[in-house]
Amino acid sequence: MTPEALAALATRAYRHMTPWTAKQFADTLARPHALLAVTQHAFVLGTVIADEAEILALAADPDHQRMGAASRALARFHAVAQDRGAGQVFLEVAAANAPARAFYSRHGYSEIGLRRGYYPRPDGPPDDAVVMSRALP
């Protein structure tokens, strides 16, 4: 998936926050530790450094949500991260994003911390970030 396609999908999926631009995707993909897992209607972008993986972005096409595309992309991310030596995955998710928090919980993630005022919002005060993590088998 090209940076432009990732940005287009993120624009459709991220309705309540500013989506990444194609340049931001390209810059992240150019990093040596980047990991992109893609299905037909979803992606997970992150990094794997030493024994830790971090999810930076996950998006699913709104017309195909709740059909397993994001779950499949996440499973691929986990598998490749584990192959690269990761034993733990971390991420931040907006505290107000209850559906995403529930999605990650269903996939074995636990809430381990909070970053106050982490996400800027165009229509109000910044939102907190919930830090989540899970072990890879």
Q: 27 or 11: which carries more pLDDT confidence?
A: 27
In DSSP notation, 67-132 reads TTHHHHHHHHHHHHHHHTT--EEEEEEETT-HHHHHHHHHTT-EEEEEEEEEEEETTEEEEEEEEE
Say what the pLDDT of residue 88 is.
98
Instruction: Enumerate domains of the chain plus CATH numbers.
Output: 3-135 (3.40.630.30)
Q: Kindly report, residue by residue over 76-88, the tens digit of the pLDDT.
A: 999 999 999 999 9
Q: What's the pTM value of the predicted model, to 2 decimals? A: 0.91
Average pLDDT value for residue range 37-57: 96
Does the pLDDT of residue 20 top 90, yes or no?
no
Least confident of 2-6, 13-17, 22-26, 61-65: 13-17
Q: 19 or 106: which carries more pLDDT confidence?
A: 106
